[in-house]
Amino acid sequence: MKIMDGKLVSQAVKDDLRKKVQELEASGMKKPHLAAILVGNNGASETYVASKVKSCGEVGFTSTLIRMDAAVSQQDLLKEITTLNDNDDVDGILVQLPLPKHISEQVVIDTISADKDVDGFHPESVGRMVQGLPAFYPATPYGILLMIEHYGIETKGKHAVVIGRSNIVGRPISILLNRNDYPGNCTVTVCHSHTHNLKDICLQADIIVAALGRPEFLKADMVKEGAVVIDVGITRVEDPSKKSGFAIKGDVDFASVAEKCSYITPVPGGVGPMTIAALLMNTYKACLLRNKK
Amino acid sequence: MKIMDGKLVSQAVKDDLRKKVQELEASGMKKPHLAAILVGNNGASETYVASKVKSCGEVGFTSTLIRMDAAVSQQDLLKEITTLNDNDDVDGILVQLPLPKHISEQVVIDTISADKDVDGFHPESVGRMVQGLPAFYPATPYGILLMIEHYGIETKGKHAVVIGRSNIVGRPISILLNRNDYPGNCTVTVCHSHTHNLKDICLQADIIVAALGRPEFLKADMVKEGAVVIDVGITRVEDPSKKSGFAIKGDVDFASVAEKCSYITPVPGGVGPMTIAALLMNTYKACLLRNKK
């Protein structure tokens, strides 16, 4: 059994990107520039955005952080996005979610120019991904692909079972693992809350992506010997033995499942750290696209 | 075993639409208007477009057919599309495919305004469908949904196996059958040319959508007793016993499979006639959207 180490792979992606940015600069091209908008001061959002900005620095990207008050009007937020859309130096735009309730996330996402949509949430990005066109993939599924690629895991003809059909994880990873490319070419089954005989289906899987958000849901008796198990879950559960009073649990009962796997991602330290690497990759690609124009 | 009769269901959808158009008119609103562009004079395309225009007439839609020479430049075609995009009376635009080789179908599709994209091929339409937003669905998968709905076939929790992952059939129907709505909420497995043990997978299916384009591929020994079988294939095979010299075959070995099914679509007369009904439904929805604005 091998651990798929998200910190290690994420660092490898970053190291590679730093070299690519140096090459861009050496050839007189502009560096990738990510603009992030943070509305209000939700603690988790602050942490995520700070981490994204820091990562940009590490790989040599330019970054701009725009802070807006929690009471900002939707109109003013959209105006800021439009300004960034029109700013030729900005390659990628992300608006940290969630947003205050008086603002429509859908309208905000739709307003980001599709060619700067490095979060991959715009319908046009999703459609281009589905159609197999060059596209920005959402961070978590893209991070999973990067991991599979890093470990050279064979996917062609494998049966992948995805548990969960969310717009940000289950649905897109099911589409990407099914595409005619590497990683991909899996037979893919998408399961969800209405699925009967989930255990039987999981037992057929060569690759399982658990993305349902129920801590330690996937047990050893649901996993075939030698399977690859990718755990997207990240739930806080009470744990009095910890200083913080809680522990972070994935959707996989790691202790029992790990023994049966060929590869498995831990939580934390698996898929999580890959999401920023995926965002940086998208921003780099957005910059290449703009340099080409 | 019941035959799912595409001609009958298509007619029912049309009858319903005709009434809805009369209601629109009675309330002083404009009638739906479909504009079709036909480039060159490919025989099959002529037939399809003529049939679409005729169907518009039957349900009381306005239609405009724009013919362009096979030698038309891409620029002139795009200009025509832009004119239709800007024409407030036009609700839906379709450009009949295939196009001559000197024209990029992708650029043409991308140029059609997403809110008039009644063929559902624009990346934004596909993305909105994937994200569960109101969207234009591509004609064949939408036609399949309309059929399932007409016959009141239960889909929640059923295992649907889709054979084929094309952008126009396999991929979208797999997404639609998996969505959280009716018809939908299936556990969905997508199979393709790299799938191992296809027979074992098909034998688990409550619903099979065969969309791989290989005549009579699906045999009785691949189908569970009581399954619903939807045949999207339509291939000409030589048949000296026919006047025309050929017969139209689906992807399903109808004679043997039908006995085991609860429902099955014939070829011809199954999914085929539903595609125009789906196009008309999309055009009606596009009109409602524009009336609302």
Burial class (CB in 10 A: 0-12, 13-18, 19+), A122: buried
Quick one: pLDDT at residue B291? 80
Q: Give Cα separations from A123 to A25, A136, B159 (angstroms).
A: 32, 11, 27
Q: Single out the catalytic residue among B117, B119, B251, B253.
A: B119
The pTM of the full predicted model, rounded to 2 decimals, is: 0.96
In angstroms, the CA B215 to CA B261 distance is: 19
Report angle CA B177, B157, B132 to the nearest 5 degrees.
35
Q: A126, B127: Cβ pair inside 8 Å? A: yes
Taking CB atoms and an 8 Å cutoff, what residues of chain A touch B180? Answer: 165, 192
The answer to whether residues A82 and A111 touch, using CB atoms and an 8 Å cutoff, is yes
Quick one: pLDDT at residue B293? 67
Chain A residues 29-68 with a CB less than 8 Å from chain B: none
**Nearest chain B Cα distance for residue A210, angstroms:** 15
Q: B190, A195: Cβ pair inside 8 Å? A: no
Query: Which of A173, A189, A199, A200 to mutate: most B Cβ within 10 Å?
Result: A189
Quick one: pLDDT at residue B281? 98
The half-sphere exposure of B206 on its side-chain side, counting CA atoms within 13 A, is 16
What is the third-level CATH fold of A139-272? Rossmann fold (3.40.50)
Say if A132 is an interface residue toward chain B (CB within 8 Å): yes
Nearest CA in chain B to A131: B167
The answer to whether residues A255 and A289 touch, using CB atoms and an 8 Å cutoff, is no
Selecting from A124, A178, A194 the residue whose C-beta is nearest the C-beta of B165 gives A178
Quick one: pLDDT at residue A174? 98
Q: What sign does the dihedral B197-B201-B207-B211 (CA atoms) show?
A: negative
Three-state SS at A236: strand
Q: Give Cα separations from B288 to B110, B116, B167 (angstroms).
A: 22, 11, 27
Helices B6-26, B274-292: inter-axial angle, 10-degree rounding: 20
What is the third-level CATH fold of A28-113? Rossmann fold (3.40.50)
Q: A180, B165: Cβ pair inside 8 Å? A: yes
Q: B127, A132: Cβ pair inside 8 Å? A: no
Q: A126, B125: Cβ pair inside 8 Å? A: no
The domains of chain A are located at 28-113, 139-272
The structure tokens listed for A210 are 């658990």
The answer to whether residues B39 and B72 touch, using CB atoms and an 8 Å cutoff, is yes
Q: A189, B189: Cβ pair inside 8 Å? A: yes
Quick one: pLDDT at residue A292? 76
pLDDT per residue rounded down to tens, chain A (293 residues)? 999 999 999 999 999 999 999 999 999 999 999 999 999 999 999 999 999 999 999 999 999 999 999 999 999 999 999 999 999 999 999 999 999 999 999 999 999 999 999 999 999 999 999 999 999 999 999 999 999 999 999 999 999 999 999 999 999 999 999 999 999 999 999 999 999 999 999 999 999 999 999 999 999 999 999 999 999 999 999 999 999 999 999 999 999 999 999 999 999 999 999 999 999 999 999 999 988 76
Instruction: Give pLDDT < 50 ranges for chain B.
Output: none
Selecting from B106, B130, B167 the residue whose C-beta is nearest the C-beta of A126 gives B130
Say if B104 is an interface residue toward chain A (CB within 8 Å): no
Do B28-113 and B139-273 come out as alike in CATH topology?
A: yes
A96 as an active site residue: the answer is yes
Quick one: pLDDT at residue A293? 67
Three-state SS at B32: coil
What is the third-level CATH fold of B139-273? Rossmann fold (3.40.50)
Taking CB atoms and an 8 Å cutoff, what residues of chain A touch B189? Answer: 187-190
Taking CB atoms and an 8 Å cutoff, what residues of chain B touch A187? Answer: 189-192, 194-196, 201
Amino acid identity, position B56: C
Say if A109 is an interface residue toward chain B (CB within 8 Å): no
Q: A130, B178: Cβ pair inside 8 Å? A: no
B79 as an active site residue: the answer is no
Chain B residues 188-207 with a CB less than 8 Å from chain A: 188-192, 194-196, 201
Quick one: pLDDT at residue A290? 84
Other beta carbons within 10 angstroms of residue B47's beta carbon come to 10
Residue whose C-alpha is closest to residue B205's, from A54, A187, A281: A187
